[in-house]
Amino acid sequence: MVDMNGDVDQEGWCYGLQFISDKWSGTCRTSHYVRRRKWIRMRRMKGASSATSGSLPSATATTPTGSVNGAGANSLDELIVKMQRARIDRERITDLKNYLLLADSPTFPPSKIQLLIAQCDHECSKLRVALLLAPRMELAQEQAIVSILQGLKFYSDRVEFLKATSLTEYQTMLSKSETSPADATTLLS
């Protein structure tokens, strides 16, 4: 689709001696009269063709992540596959939220927790995943908590996660997650 904004003719061409953008210029630097066309890329959702064909009922429309509404991940392995297929962190976090809502009492082995956190690209998204898992953590799952702490890069993220788990043993947990003792003592003071 051609951008028809500005001084363009009926076919979408813009004429001039020089254009504002430094990245684009005509073929010759002398005073030639040149033209250019600005294109607009139309965004289309993946899987839109199957949703509009009428093959799926309206109650199970396809979401942007390619999953079907109402059909959440049944197991932790399916959740990890769905998170790998998601294009952006927001979709990964939505998949995790849906899994936590649909699962009866999800238990997460430490190795799977590290996989869930590693699926996210950005540190703030890793923290959001850890905070979603925090209410389900208990002191008995100490190894799982340590694995979450090792998945978080920043010290402030580790502190925020530990505060969300309502654990009072900050110093013990932080020392097990390879944080310096000096940093852990400043947290407690």
Tally the domains of the chain. Answer: 1
Which pLDDT band holds residue 184 (cuts at 50, 70, 90)? very low
**What DSSP letter does each residue of 141-162 carry, written as one string?**
GHHHHHHHHHH--SHHHHHHHH
The answer as to whether 21 is a domain residue is no
Query: Which domain, by its residues, includes 179?
Result: 68-188
Per residue in 107-142, pLDDT (tens digit) is: 777 778 888 888 888 888 888 888 888 777 665 577
The answer as to whether 163 is a domain residue is yes
Q: Given this model, what pLDDT does residue 158 score?
A: 83
The answer as to whether 57 is a domain residue is no
The answer as to whether 93 is a domain residue is yes
The answer as to whether 155 is a domain residue is yes
Per residue in 15-63, pLDDT (tens digit) is: 776 666 656 555 555 556 677 777 666 677 776 554 444 444 444 444 4
The answer as to whether 91 is a domain residue is yes
Indicate the burial class of 49 (C-beta count within 10 angstroms; 0-12, 13-18, 19 or more): exposed
